Amino acid sequence: MIRLTRPALLLVDFQQGFDTISYWGSERNNFFAEENAAGLLHLWRQSNLPVFHLKHCSSNPVSLLNKSNPGNEFKQNLKPINDETVIEKSVNSGFIGTGLYDLLQEHKINTIVIAGLTTDHCVSTTTRMAGNLGFDTFVVSDATATFNRRGPDGKNYPAQLVHETALASLDSEFATIVATAFLLQKITSPAFR
C-alpha cells in the first residue's frame, strides 16, 4: 500500500527555456506535463502542503537557462507565489550545492513528490539522490517530460522511449512511479486528512 505522509512537492526546472524544442533536440514527449504539474501545484497549495521550486541556472552564458536569458524564468502557470521556496542549482541534482536537503530536514519532510523537466536529466538525478538520502520518493510520470537523444554513434532515441526508460530505471529502486490522477485522488481522499 502506498502511503503519503505530508509530502513535499518538488517542481524541477519548469522554465521557459524548455519551450524551444530545437535547442534540446528535435522532439519532445508529454506536452501535458506542465498542465498536470500545475494541477498538482494547485492541490498542494489548497492542502497547505510544502512546495519547492527548483530552477536550473546554467553557468554557460549562451544557455537558454542562464540567468541572463529570459528562458531562465519559470513557466507562467508554475511560478512560485507567496513564501514558496525557490532553490537555484547549477548542476542536475537539486541537492548539490543548494541547501535543499537541510530545508527538508528542518521541516521534518521525509516524503517527496517530483515532477519536472527533463525526465532523464535533472528529474532522474534529483530522484536518485533523494532515494539514496533516504527520502520516500515519488515521481509523477505524466508530469515529467524530455526530449529525444542522440547516442555516441549518432542513433536517435525518441523522446518517449528516453522518458519511459528513465522512469523504468528509477522505479522501485530510487522511487515509486505514479500518475497525476493517483495523487489527485490520494490527497483529496478523507483518509489523507
Query: What are the pLDDT digits (tens) for 99-140?
Result: 999 999 999 999 999 999 999 999 999 999 999 999 999 999
Residue (of 51, 57, 19, 23) closest to 37 by Cα position: 51
Give the per-residue pLDDT at 94. 98
For residue 114, report the phi and psi dihedrals to the nearest 5 degrees: -115, 130
The DSSP bridge pattern shows strands 8-12 and 111-117 to be parallel
Give the per-residue pLDDT at 4. 72
Amino acid in position 167 = L
Give the per-residue pLDDT at 3. 65
Give the per-residue pLDDT at 5. 75
**Which residue spans within 66-162 are E strands per DSSP?**
85-89, 111-117, 136-145, 149-150, 156-157
**Number of CB atoms found within 10 A of residue 42's CB:** 12
Distance separating alpha carbons of residues 48 and 65, to the nearest angstrom: 30
Return the bridge partners of 51, or none: 9
Residue (of 99, 98, 93, 85) closest to 116 by Cα position: 93
Give the per-residue pLDDT at 193. 53
Angle between helices 124-132 and 159-170 (to 10 degrees): 0
C-alpha cell at position 148: 529525444
Q: Which long-range contacts (CB under 8 A, 24 or more apart) does 64-72 make?
A: 64/16, 64/17, 64/18, 64/20, 64/23, 65/13, 65/15, 65/17, 69/17, 70/16, 70/17, 71/15, 71/16, 71/17, 71/18, 71/19, 71/20, 72/15, 72/16, 72/17
Give the per-residue pLDDT at 6. 82
- The CATH-assigned architecture of domain 8-192 is 3-Layer(aba) Sandwich (3.40)
C-alpha cell at position 117: 523537466
Report the predicted TM-score, pTM, of the whole model to 2 decimal places.
Answer: 0.95
Q: Name residues of the chain where pLDDT drops below 50.
A: none
Could you tell me the residue ranges of all domains in the chain? 8-192
